[in-house]
Copies of this chain bind each other. A is one copy, B any other.
Amino acid sequence: MPAQPIPPAIPEAGPSFSPLYRQIKGLIIAGLQGGEWKAGESIPSEIELAQRFGVSQGTVRKAIDELAAENLLVRRQGKGTFVATHAEQQQQYRFLRLMPDEGQDPGLGRQLLDCKRQRAPAWIAKQLQMRAGDAMVEVRRLLHSAGRPVVLDDIWLPGNLFKGLTTERLSQHRGPFYGLFETEFGVHMIRAQEKIRAVAADAETAALLQVAEGTPLLSVERLSFTYGDKPVELRRGLYNTSTHFYRNDLN
C-alpha cells in the first residue's frame, strides 16, 4: 500500500504554485533590501537582469511591472528603471493626502517641536513589533499652511534603527522626513496603513493648532512598513479640517 503524503499541520492558504517571474521579483526585492541599489539610483537594465537570472527579458519585465505598480520602482523610458524615493519633488509627501479647499498644492511649512528618546509604552511597542520598554525616538512637529498650523504630528520610531537621530539632524534637513530616513538610516517606507477617526481637540492640542478646545479634528494613525512587511514607524496626525480635507480615491 503506497504511503500517504503527509498533509501540512495547518492547511496552507498560500499559492500552491509560484511562477518564475515572482521568484525574480523576490530576487530584485532582496537586492533592494540588501542595499545593492540605493534610493534614486538605477537598477540594471532588463536585458542585463535577464542574463544574470538566466530567464528571458519578458519574465524580468513582468517582475518589474509588479514592482513598479507597487511603487517600489519607477520606470523611465529611454533612461532606465530607478529605485523609488520619497525625496524627489514629484514624490514629495507621497503618503500625505491633505489638500487645501482652494488650489492644488499643499505647500506646507514644517516646525519641529520636540525630538527625544523614550522607552516605548506597550501600545506603541506592540504595533512596532518591539518589547515594551525598548528604546524609541519620539518626534513632535507642526505643519503650517499660509502661516497657520494645520497638522500636529506625533511620530514614534524604533530606537535601534534610528540611532543618530537628533533634533539638530531633523531641523537642518530639507524635504520630507522620509527622504532623510532613506539617505541617513537606510530605511525605506514602502507601504502604510491608516486608521482615521474624528476626535475632539484637548487643551494642549487646541493651543498648538490655535483652535478652541473640543474642536473636531481628524485623527490619522499611520503604521508604515519597510521591506518584508516590517513596521518601522507609527505616526498620529491631528488635522484641522476647516480649510483642508483628506482626499481619497476609490476604485
Chain A residues in the interface with B (C-beta under 8 A): 69-71, 94-95, 97, 99, 190-200, 214, 216-219, 222, 239, 241, 245-251
Contacts and interface: CB of A to CB of B under 8 A. Distances in A.
Contact of A95 (B190, B192, B217, B250): B250
A248 B247 CA distance: 11
A95 to B, nearest CB: 5
Q: Please tell me how many copies of the chain the complex holds.
A: 2
B95 A193 contact: no
Contacts of A194: 247-250
B193 A247 contact: yes
A94, A191, A250, most chain B CB atoms within 10 A: A250
A70, A192, A245, A249, most chain B CB atoms within 10 A: A245
A198 B239 contact: yes
B71 A246 contact: no
Nearest to A221: B245
Contacts of A69: 69
Contacts of A95: 250
